[in-house]
Amino acid sequence: MKPLRFIGSSKDDLKSFPVEARRASGFELDAVQRGGMPSDFKPMLNIGAGAYEIRIHVQGEWRVLYVARFADAVYVLHAFQKKSRKTRKEDIDLAARRYKQVKDESS
């Protein structure tokens, strides 16, 4: 089982989710740690190779962006409430910067 590593403020951001959304996120991240895939996700190629978005539909819309392609850990890049149909450019850019940071450190 791979450990979880939170990049930047992603852990605090995830902790700010409502209890039910936080619980659902934890369940989905546990599946990823065990080598599986979340129940509702999509690839986020604009962030980086192997980056995915977990979709949580509990008390609103919530997203957890992560990458699990590196051998040492599952990296949580960003966690946020989605308030519009399209993911905000700021959220994608932040996750992409954190992805680059992880990639550089893993090389």
Neighbours of 23 (CB within 10 A): 13
Token pair 């065990």 in the structure block, residue: 34
Structural domains in the chain (count) = 1
Strands 41-43 and 51-56: antiparallel
pLDDT at 20: 98
| Maximum separation of any 2 CA atoms in the chain, in Å | 39
> How many Å apart are CA 89 and CA 26, to the nearest integer?
25
Is the pLDDT confidence value at 101 over 80? yes
> How many Å apart are CA 82 and CA 65, to the nearest integer?
12
pTM over 0.85: yes
- C-beta separation of 76 from 4 below 8 A: yes
What the block records as the tokens of 70 is 């590196």
Find the Cα–Cα–Cα–Cα dihedral 15, 80, 60, 1, rounded to 10°. Answer: -60
CATH code (residue 25): 3.30.2310.20
Domain span including residue 25: 4-106
Segment 12-26, tens digit of pLDDT: 999 999 999 999 999
